[in-house]
């Protein structure tokens, strides 16, 4: 059985960037729904019991046709959100330091240029999806609940959920305001650790 990962912070600790209500609904309702639906599908796949969610979405070819889309969407939703909660922190924001800061400067010219490019891709992604920073510092956009794992790539070191469900409570239709708020809580310590 898959379960929601524990948050490292209280529901009210990302205020004013993410309200308590927005975090509660996103984590406790949307993410929980992916977990519940994934567990529901897994009941029909006893031969895959015990496999990690990373394994399932990295090996969709092993999933019977009838269940593949469900595993891709619900497994992806569980995996992506589990990363997302680690990628933000009440102590986040600012700029990265150490080797990661140096590598970003080298690849993008400056942190600001990197931030501009990441923001541009997050704003321009059509419909629902995610934008990720990879360990090689490339920026990858994924539709729906896909992730770089679907394409056999490495797990991201940082990333943003740009589904409307991630921001409508606080920011209505305004994805740009949400993205700007999200930058204030990016967990660079976690990104540096994984990098």
Interface residue with Mn ion among 23, 35, 166, 185 (CB under 5 A) is: 166
Number of other CB atoms surrounding residue 76 within 10 Å:
24
Beta bridge partners of 159: 132
Q: How far is the CB of 172 from Mn ion (least distance, A)?
A: 16
Q: How far is the CB of 162 from Mn ion (least distance, A)?
A: 9
Q: Closest CB to Mn ion among 74 and 163?
A: 163
C-alpha span between 93 and 183 (Å, rounded): 6
Q: How far is the CB of 24 from Mn ion (least distance, A)?
A: 13
**Helix H or strand E segment including 187:** none
C-alpha span between 143 and 11 (Å, rounded): 27
C-alpha span between 138 and 69 (Å, rounded): 27
C-alpha span between 120 and 176 (Å, rounded): 9
Residue 158 near residue 68, CB atoms below 8 Å: no
Q: Closest CB to Mn ion among 78 and 96?
A: 78
190 near Mn ion, judged by CB under 5 A: no
161 near Mn ion, judged by CB under 5 A: yes
C-alpha span between 190 and 195 (Å, rounded): 8
Q: How far is the CB of 43 from Mn ion (least distance, A)?
A: 24
158 near Mn ion, judged by CB under 5 A: no
Q: Which residue is nearest to Mn ion (CB)?
A: 161
Which x/- pattern over 74-113 shows residues binding Mn ion (rule: CB under 5 A)? ----------------------------------------
| SS3 at position 160 | strand
Span interacting with Mn ion, options 55-63, 86-94, 154-162, 184-192, rule CB under 5 A: 154-162
Interaction site with Mn ion (CB under 5 A): 161, 163, 166
């Amino acid at each position: 059985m898959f379960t929601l990962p524990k948050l490292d912070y209280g529901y009210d600790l990302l205020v004013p960037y993410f309200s308590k209500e927005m975090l509660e609904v996103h984590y406790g309702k949307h993410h929980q729904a992916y977990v519940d639906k994934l567990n529901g599908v897994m009941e029909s796949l006893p031969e895959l019991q015990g496999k990690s969610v990373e394994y399932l979405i990295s090996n969709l070819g092993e999933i019977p046709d009838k269940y593949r889309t469900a595993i891709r969407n619900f497994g992806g939703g569980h995996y992506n959100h589990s990363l997302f909660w680690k990628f933000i922190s009440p102590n986040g924001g600012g700029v990265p330091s150490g080797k990661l800061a140096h590598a970003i400067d080298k690849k993008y010219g400056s942190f600001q240029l990197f931030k501009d490019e990441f923001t541009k891709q997050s704003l321009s992604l059509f419909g629902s999806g995610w934008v990720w920073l990879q360990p090689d510092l490339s920026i990858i956009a994924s539709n729906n609940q896909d992730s770089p794992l679907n394409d056999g790539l490495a797990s991201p070191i940082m990333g943003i959920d740009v589904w409307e469900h991630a921001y409508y409570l606080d920011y209505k239709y305004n994805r740009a305001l949400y993205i700007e708020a999200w930058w204030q809580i990016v967990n660079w310590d976690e990104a540096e650790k994984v990098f």
